[in-house]
Amino acid sequence: MGPDTRDAAIQSATEQLTALAGTRPRVIRQSGAVRIEVDVTAAVTEQWADLLEILNLGTAFGLTGTPCGRQVAWLSFDQPQAPSR
């Protein structure tokens, strides 16, 4: 996935998660990747199939429990590799 396609996919996933959850997801830029997280609320659970379609836009996705008992759905996009010389 090239940088322009990746940026468009990140934007699309963020917008779709905002519409689904009713709140803006957390976008975390990490070394080598961008991770997008959204809390799994009752409203999100009711739209589980839609959530999975959005999560599948990433290069990886998952569901994580927090120490305080919340669940967080996340997807990530790997940074494109620079061409070798």
Mean pLDDT of 26-44: 94
- In this prediction the pTM is 0.86
How do 33-39 and 26-30 pair as beta strands?
antiparallel
pLDDT score of 3 = 65
pLDDT tens digits for 40-73?
999 999 999 999 999 999 999 999 999 999 999 9
Number of domains in the chain: 1
Q: Could you tell me if residue 84 is inside a domain?
A: no
Print the domain residue range for 38: 3-78
Q: Could you tell me if residue 57 is inside a domain?
A: yes
Please give the C-alpha separations between residue 59 and each of 9, 23, 56, in angstroms, as whole numbers.
10, 23, 8
pLDDT score of 12 = 96
Q: Is 19 helix (H, G, I), strand (E, B) or coil?
A: helix
pLDDT score of 82 = 57
Q: Could you tell me if residue 48 is inside a domain?
A: yes
SS3 content of the chain, % helix, strand, coil (to 5): 35, 30, 35
